[in-house]
A and B are shown apart, each in its own frame.
Chain A
Amino acid sequence: MLGSEEMAWTHRYWEQVQEGDDLPVATRDITRVDVIAMAFAARDFLPPLHIDHEVAQEAGLKDVNVNIIATGGLIGKYLTDWSGSEGRLKRMEYRLSVSVFPGDTLTQNGRVLKKYVEGDELLVDVEYSFSVPDGLHAWGTATLVLPALDTGSRLS
């Protein structure tokens, strides 16, 4: 169990989702400790652009930045915060532009592009974009499997 901030993990059922639905906007203030904790969580040390300020500057960056694996983790969290824990990430891709540096506020947006059935899976395609004050950080699409209202989970 993580901390005292209990989220209500209600499930989002496929039938409740419409194409064009917006995902809630989420923001997070990223600290220097966050950037380094993300590097350690991903074990992304080499080269140490995400930990060592001087190495980052030698690479032409103004500071340490959030690593690419962690960006995927943040996207995954954003999507399953929306879908609920029974939502399953099936596919995800993202491109990166502007780095996330200590002190940046990361703003996360998303929208349902498509809702469809494939085999016995109830799917939604979602587009998302994560931005910082200097511009777009990461953007892309993902496919999630959602549970059905009538049968509950389709995950088994």
Chain B
Amino acid sequence: MSGNLYQSLKSLEGGESELRTGNDRVNDAMIRHWCEAMQDANPLYTDKDYAENSCWKRIIAPPTMVQAYCTPPLWPKIETNPDPVFLAVRTCVEAGYCSSLGVSMSYEFLHPLHPGDQVMYKIKLLSVTPEKSTRVGTGHFLAAAYSYCNDKDVPVCRQVLTVFQYCPHIQVVH
């Protein structure tokens, strides 16, 4: 069974989504909420006067925030073609590997985002591993590559997120 699962995942490897549009334009409120949670006082993110006198000439968004404009909303459900990463996760879930844990992340920051910018992105299933057993459970490592650009088609960031999609060892008794 797990061999079949791996073959199904392998067949999705290398596939990429269409170019998608982020849910929200870069905006002051989301930046401030991010800074509030991270306790990040960098004045480039929130202080207009400071930012205008900096090398950037205007506010920039925290670079690590890029994915926040693109994560799926709770409501309404966005109608998109299922991308290969979504399909890989769904294939795992249907096979009983229902839990997901972030394992690693990498970012290359190419260009800053400013309030008003629209983030556009593609998601690619970069790689899948054969079944592995870890301290949390048994499953597959899935690497998802995100490439982001702004609405002027300038590349902004390349990101790779690796998640472990697994069946937990421990079942909590209610």
Q: Which A residues form the contact surface with B (CB < 8 A)?
A: 1-3, 5-7, 9, 28, 34, 37-38, 40-47, 49, 57-61, 67-77, 80-81, 85-86, 88-96, 153, 155-156
Contact = CB atoms under 8 A, between A and B. Distances in A.
Please give me the 4 A-B residue pairs with the lowest Cβ-Cβ distance, nearest first. Answer: A68-B102, A60-B168, A93-B106, A41-B37
A64 B103 CA distance: 16
Interface residues of B, number: 51
Given A46-B72, A90-B109, A93-B107, A37 B36 contact: yes
Contacts of B17: none
Contacts of A81: 40, 42
Interface of B: 23, 30, 32-44, 46-47, 50, 54-56, 62-65, 67-68, 71-74, 98-109, 136-137, 161, 168-172
Given A2-B46, A42-B34, 16 more contacts: A1-B46, A41-B33, A41-B65, A41-B68, A59-B101, A60-B137, A67-B102, A68-B105, A69-B67, A71-B102, A71-B105, A85-B50, A86-B55, A90-B108, A92-B106, A93-B106
Contact of B38 (A58, A73, A86, A92): A73
B157 to A, nearest CB: 10
A42 B170 contact: no
